[in-house]
Amino acid sequence: MENNFKPIVGYKCQFKNKEIDLVIDCEVLVVDKPHKLSYTWIGGPIDTFVTWTLKQDGKITYVHLDHTGFEEVGPAFYGAKSGWAYKVEELKKQLEEI
């Protein structure tokens, strides 16, 4: 997604998906390099939170994504679920090339 994200606590930014006319407003909440990144994810009537956590175990680094704050399992939840599944798979492909 097109964005103007910067990993600075308090920084406000937007993620945009022009294909589906979606704009997500965000504010960076936590930057704990290189372990944790957390930000708000506000799209439409739902305010949620995204947190990325990295954990190293020897030569392996585990990436954990939490997207929380959904009050019900509905269209917004399923949209986020499928969107993140796609993005995480793309991230995996990129990392395998390194």
CATH number of residue 27's parent domain: 3.30.530.20
User: Does some domain include residue 85?
Assistant: no
Closest by CA to 64, choosing from 48, 84, 41, 90, is 84
Query: What is this structure's pTM?
Result: 0.89
Number of domains in the chain: 1
User: Does some domain include residue 92?
Assistant: no
User: Does some domain include residue 91?
Assistant: no
Torsion angles phi and psi, residue 81, rounded to 5: -60, -50
For residue 53, the enclosing domain spans 2-70
> SS3 of 63, please?
strand
User: Does some domain include residue 87?
Assistant: no
pLDDT computed for residue 3 by the predictor: 97
Residues of the chain with pLDDT under 70: none
